[in-house]
Chains A and B, each alone.
Chain A
Amino acid sequence: MTAAREDFREILRLVRPGARVLDVGCGEGELLDLLTREKSVDGQGLEISQAGVAACLAKGLAVVQGDGDRDLDDFPTGAFDYAILSKTLQQMRDPAHALSQLLRIAEQAVVSVPNFGHWRVRWALLVTGRMPETRALPEPWWSTPNIHLCTLRDFVELCRELDLRIDACSALSGGKPARPIDPGHPWENWRSETALLLLSRRGAPPRAPAPLDLLGDVLPPEPAPKPRRKPKA
């Protein structure tokens, strides 16, 4: 596994063996393939591109060609143990709706988001006065697919708004091994390049993540910022 796919290694760690997994935006199926081989999961992918779908089929993976923005609504409630959304939430038209859908379809969601509060992003904006282009967010503003960027603090706040519980969180930075973090800690909003979170519905019975139960129900000590707009629940 390449260093760039540390997020895969972390997802592998989080997912229970034999679980039913939906990978939203599964691309060519690398992660699903890995999960199938190493964790014997019963996997299903959702992918928008025909090339990606063809590659998945060639690997023997079950994949549906479709658009995560639209087609999550078609999956039945509780069909999966995990729904994975890796680095695409910020590209979706309605991230709040997508998150709600993920946790309707699956018991837990594994979501990774690039952190716009990372010091490199803040520094780039402060020093150059231009939209930041960083290791994690390399495209210029006019061609980036990221239309809904957020900071780690924003994301934690959205989870609270949607009544979602953060069961585990780790930071991923430039191919280094994942580092378990408290997503509510202000310092982590500076130093985490990408955050990978395990989420569940607050009402759902607690289900321990594979190794570390960092937070459970505990939310950040700092006062949460007021949302500018009430997200759709």
Chain B
Amino acid sequence: MTDSAAAAASGEIQGEVMRFAANKPLRLDSGARLAPLEIAYNTYGRLNAERSNAVLVCHALTGDQHVASVHPTTGKPGWWSRMIGPGKPLDPDHHFIICSNVIGGCMGSTGPASMDPRTGKPYGLSFPVITIADMVRAQAMLVEALGIETLFAVIGGSMGGMQVLQWAADYPETLFSAISIAAAPRHSAQNIAFHEVGRQAIMADPDWRAGDYEAAGVRPEKGLAVARMAAHITYLSEAALQRKFGRELQRDGLSWGFDADFQVESYLRHQGASFVDRFDANSYLYITRAMDYFDLAAKHGGALTEAFLNARKVKFCVLSFSSDWLYPTAESRDVVRALNAAGCRASFAEIESDKGHDAFLLDEPQLDATLRGFLSAQAQARGLG
């Protein structure tokens, strides 16, 4: 039995949807309001009597709330099962772990595939454009609704790490500690460029139908698959791709055509094809847009330091990976520099890895050890057993 299955058997995993009625709208950065609002979330472990052991895990672009339990569509273990479980850095025996699907997502939280109450049809492209700050505002509503005043930790990698930084800027008084992994304080031109390729692939698919594919009973699977393939390359390092595939062929000899001759082609095709089973094309458009709009310093006159001025009591841990070229170490260093300048206590480490951006999801003993050290020290400071 896997750890998550064991936890499920003991009744400790709860999958829920928090509903906020029309009179409690989510105010969006765009000025729009989202109501009614649903937030799908999973929890692991139990909230202690002092309500001091809650940890919010923020997921990445294509992640979801099934962080440490079997995914309902794919049947695969949760995306961070290796980090969450008995004896692991995040331990349901000690922590009350919450992970919610971001708004705009497609795993149960309100998103472009949800019903628009005004029309009775799916939102599609009439869903308002959302931001990372909007996602965090929704999470804050969830955390408050769960009766939690202070989060022991908020943690996430990639887009999850951006949410962590946004939490520190917008809700510093709610945080005891914050852990941002393989993230950046803003989306670079290169980041936006890759996302634009993905969006154009989706929108070029005739089945996308200007976002109204649901009504036509089709899905822009080809476009979404290409978007995923392009993005997937950015998650790996050149060294990792070379080590995994090199120039290895699928079968003996070349096809002298355009079949997937090379293993790397076959691998990418598989990544694309399996992705469309679990992800919605419009959600992909909205969430990549939210990431592109992310620039934490923008609201603070371009000075990142200003974003963290009220977070002096929060203990920060910022981690990057040496081979991550999507959100390179220099981006994390910018965050650390701003935290230092703001007078925040920050720890920072660049973890040696040749696995690229995706290293935060993979077997990286140094990441585990670092998180374990930071979390146990914070637990001691917080008075958690």
Contacts and interface: CB of A to CB of B under 8 A. Distances in A.
What 8 A-B pairs have minimum CB-CB distances, sorted nearest first?
A60-B377, A58-B373, A57-B373, A64-B348, A53-B349, A74-B337, A76-B341, A62-B345
B372 A58 contact: yes
B290 to A, nearest CB: 29
B340 A57 contact: no
Given A60-B376, A60-B377, A60-B381, A65 B340 contact: no
A63 B346 CA distance: 7
B366 interface: yes
Contacts of A66: 333, 348
Contacts of B366: 50, 54
A44 B315 CA distance: 12
A127 B345 CA distance: 51
A50 B349 contact: yes
Nearest to B342: A76
A65 B345 contact: no
Interface of A: 42, 44, 50, 53-54, 56-66, 74-76, 79
B346 A54 contact: no
Contacts of A64: 336, 340, 346-348
A62 B315 contact: yes
Most buried by A among B343, B366, B377: B377
A79 B343 contact: yes
Contacts of B373: 54, 57-60
B168 to A, nearest CB: 15
A79 B349 contact: no
A53 B366 CA distance: 11
Contacts of A63: 347-349
A68 B373 CA distance: 24
Contacts of B370: 53-54, 57
B380 interface: yes
A50 B373 CA distance: 14
30 contacts: A42-B345, A50-B366, A53-B348, A53-B349, A53-B370, A54-B369, A56-B347, A57-B349, A57-B370, A57-B374, A57-B377, A58-B377, A59-B373, A60-B376, A61-B347, A62-B345, A62-B347, A63-B348, A63-B349, A64-B336, A64-B340, A64-B346, A64-B347, A65-B348, A65-B350, A74-B336, A74-B337, A74-B340, A75-B341, A79-B343
